[in-house]
Amino acid sequence: MTKEEKGITLVALTIIIIVLLILAGVGITSGISTIKSARFTKFEAEMQVMQTEINKINQENEDANNLGQELTEEQKQIFNVKEVKEVLSSKKGEQETLKANFKYFTKDYLKNELKIEVAERDYYINIQERIIISKEPVEYRRINYYMLEQMPNGMYNVQTNKTGEVEFKANYEVVDTNKINIIVSSITGNNYTNKWQIRYKKVKNSEGQENNENWNITPEFEGDNYTIVVEEKGKYELEVFHKEEWKSATKEITISGIYDEEKEVNSPSLGGDNGKGLLPVKWNGENWEICSPDDPTWYNYSDQKVTVTNKEGKPEEVLEMSWANAMLSDGKYKAGEVEVGQIVQENELGSMFVWIPRFAYSINKYKEKQNPIPEDGTTQNITKVEFLKGTTNEGTSGNTYPKDYNADSVAMRSSNPNDSTSGIYIWRRGNRRDMGSKI
């Protein structure tokens, strides 16, 4: 045997040992990483189920604020943890109030009392705002995770999920007297999802009285538009959100333009997003005044008997109406910058319009061979006018009128055969106070 054939050298043996140690280290590191990844994935799944269950408790349990235990001073230190503090600072509302509504929930309490079987740890939970914090974090890739909002899959990213980043438009259409469609459209927010839900509630009724209704929440839907069906007019609040973390600012919409049973006429409509600058105004007897769409004196299309002096100087009763006037924000006074009850100067008013409720009218069409022509020489007379209910062809008297009419016969027709609106605004030439006040 030659010298070279005697066996492995010391250098070669050293290299082999080093390689084996490296491979062993890689295996251990990979194993630890796999364990941490599995632990994190389980934690994320648990948090997602927890979020769903807390959302449900928020909606179904009227005594939700009485659940759990008050936080001790030591437990309140969770709010000073950097990761938690960053997430909470992105939430809307006053921070101290937000923190004060958190309660402590042990895993046994969650399982036994609230029936949340997935709970494997203790939590701090604000049920009112549906915010969940794990008492102990799960470490993954050198980050401590306490909250679902921290999850690195994009849709829960704390750096981007801030209230107000989701935008949408809101409008409405009156279908009939008991059905109004609130149309939410043009939803934009992030590039991670096109799935949304809408939270909505009525905050004021048609008389302007405050409502204390709970939020209604739509099912999850895909796309950038959704139609909500409601039965009553009034002021509604809307929010568009995704899994509670991508959320829009609250938007208000006042629904009007619906048949008013008491006044027997379609109430004036200000359109979607509060008319985009359309301001209701009224003449108070001395001045023009900004008013609320809920103001009972803004309009009255019902007949009112008023005693006036005729040309002969004798008193007589005539019928008078109070027409709903509205003003654009193209003058001195702008939407959002004026207050209800504010007096506005006549020479500084914006473009003025008056609301004409949807109506039907009867036309007598005369033919020389069939009917005698009236002495005044007219060949066409409007013989009757009646307001219609909502977008239907039912009149206030209960009569139903056809959408079309035969011009050669006595018939009724609608002022809007397409049934798409409960009335229209027409431009007022000038701002005369008495315009349209008498019939």
pLDDT of residue 110: 92
Question: What is the distance between the alpha carbons of residues 338 and 279, in angstroms, rounded to a whole number?
Answer: 9
pLDDT of residue 209: 63
pLDDT of residue 365: 56
pTM of this prediction exceeds 0.75:
no
DSSP state of 232: S
**Integer angstrom CA distances of residue 218 from 127, 184, 249, 366:** 19, 12, 17, 56
pLDDT of residue 108: 93
The residues pairing with 319 across neighbouring beta strands, listed in sequence order, are 305
pLDDT of residue 95: 85
SS3 320: strand
Place of tokens 């207050």: 339
Q: Which amino acid is at 382?
A: I
Domains within the chain, CATH numbers bracketed? 13-150 (no CATH), 167-255 (2.60.40.10), 268-353+429-439 (no CATH), 359-420 (no CATH)
For residue 19 the two structure tokens come to 């390689």
SS3 424: strand
Q: Whose CA is closest to 178, among 239, 251, 255?
A: 255
Beta strand 195-204 pairing with 216-217: antiparallel
Binned average pLDDT, 10 residues per bin, the chain of 439 residues: 58 73 60 64 86 83 83 94 86 81 93 90 90 90 85 43 69 74 84 79 69 82 90 86 79 78 78 61 85 81 59 61 81 83 86 83 56 55 71 78 50 48 73 39
pLDDT of residue 105: 95
> Which positions ≥6 away from 2 have C-beta within 8 Å?
none
